[in-house]
Amino acid sequence: MKAMAVHESLEEGIKFFRLKRWDKALEEFLKANTDSFGAEDNAELAYYLGLCYTKLTRYNDALLYLEQVVTAAPDPLRVYQCRMTLAYIYVITSRSKLAEFELGRLIKGGFESVQIYTTLAYAAWSQRHYQKAVDYYEKALDLDENNTTALNGLGYILADSDIDAAKGLKLCRRAVEKKPQNAAYLDSLGWACFKNGNVSEARLWLRRAFDINPNQTEIKRHIKIVVGES
């Protein structure tokens, strides 16, 4: 009976997780009595706890459980997902070298994806390793030439760093053509126009980006430089 109760607790938590009710899912998972858990049960619980804490932006708690999964889980796809989540957390918490470590482990394990390369590119860019970031974005585009994250990221770096501002502008235009309501892409296009000397067009795109997301720090910075107001 005890083992059945544990199973029901996990199932209830999974149900709430699939409904994106992260708080409720976490509450259910934390109720689980792990005394009778085997290795698979513990890995399953750690997996969901790690994801719940990530969704709730409780990153330090998430890291504790995600690390358990990548060291103990037998499912390679689950390990892939958890390493990607670890890398995401490390990038947004300014620990880019740790993100690179996790992604490097995936590549050594035989995984290759657009998401891996775009995350590596962002991590490199955040450390101002611009050519390294360019190389990673190009690898991502080799896998999917229409990936908007890679188009926008590569375009922005090429323009912002003056590596190839004209090519950067073309790539940013392609990203906006595919997702015209994405504020980050509109901002990149506006900035790329500015870096190419097209100030009037830069103002147009930057104002559109600002209208969609007026609280984004980078958009406000670009607006202040190009338009002369925040």
Give the pLDDT confidence of 10-44 residue by residue, as tens digits. 888 999 999 999 999 999 999 887 777 888 888 88
Q: Which CATH superfamily is domain 1-111 in?
A: Tetratricopeptide repeat domain (1.25.40.10)
Give the pLDDT confidence of 94-146 residue by residue, as tens digits. 999 999 999 999 999 889 999 999 999 999 999 999 999 999 999 999 999 99
* Sequence spans of domains, the chain: 1-111, 130-230
CB 125 within 8 A of CB 105: no
User: In this structure, what token pair is assigned to residue 22?
Assistant: 């992260």
Give the pLDDT confidence of 160-176 residue by residue, as tens digits. 999 999 999 999 999 99
Cβ atoms within 10 Å of 129's Cβ, excluding its own: 16
DSSP 8-class letter at 131: H
CB 207 within 8 A of CB 180: no
DSSP 8-class letter at 164: S
pTM of the model: 0.83
CB 48 within 8 A of CB 29: yes
CATH number of 130-230: 1.25.40.10
